[in-house]
Structure 1
Amino acid sequence: RSGQPVSDAASPSHGMDKNGPTAVMQSLAKPDYTRVSCGTVLNQKYSPALFSDPGKRAKLLALIKVYFQKGGQELQINAVSRELLADAMDNPEKYRDLVVRVSGFSAYFTQLDPRVQMDILERTEHG
Structure 2
Amino acid sequence: MDEVVDLIESYPPSPVRKASKRAYFLPTTVHVYFGKVTGATPDGREAGGFPVSEGVSPVQGGMDRKGIAAVFRSVAKCDWDKTGGGALLNQKLTPDIFDSEENIKKLAQLIRTFFRLGGHHVQFNVVSAELLREAQRKPQDFQDLMVRVAGYSDYFVNLPEGGLQEEIVQRTEQELL
TM-score by length of 2: 0.70
Do structure 1's residue 10 and structure 2's residue 53 form an aligned pair?
Answer: no
Amino acid at match of 1:13: V
Please point out which of 81, 87, 100 is paired with 1:40: 87
Matches within 5 A, 1:72-111: 72-111=119-158
Higher relative contact order by CA 8 Å / sep ≥ 6: 1 or 2? Answer: 1
Question: Is residue 69 of structure 1 aligned with residue 123 of structure 2?
Answer: no
Partner residue in 1 for 2:170: 122
Superposed displacement of residue 89, structure 1: 0.4
What is the one-letter code of the residue matched to 2:106? K
Note the C-alpha offset of 1:35: 1.6
Matched position secondary structure for 1:41? coil
Quote the RMSD (CA, aligned, Å). Answer: 0.9
Deviation at 1:52, TM superposition (A): 2.0
Gaps of 5+ in 2: 1-45
The structure richer in strand per residue is: 1
Task: Report matched runs for 1:45-64 at 5 Å.
Answer: 45-64=92-111
Unaligned runs of 5+ in 1: none
Alpha-carbon deviation of 1:37? 2.3
C-alpha deviations, 1:24-77, integer Å up to 9, x for none?
Answer: 100100121112122112100001111121111111110000001111011100
1:113 aligns to 2:157 (yes or no): no
Distance in structure 1 (CA, Å) of the matches to 2:80 and 2:86 = 7
**Map of 1:13-24 to 2, 5 A cutoff?**
13-14=59-60, 15-24=62-71
| Helix, strand or coil at the partner of 2:147 | strand
Partner of 1:27: 74
Residue 81 of structure 1: how far off its partner (Å): 1.3
State the SS of the aligned residue for 1:7. Answer: coil
Q: What's the CA shift for 1:16?
A: 1.0
Residues 72-114 of structure 1 deviation map (CA, whole Å, 9 limit, x = unaligned): 0111000011111000000000000110000100000000001
Larger Rg: 2
Aligned length: 127
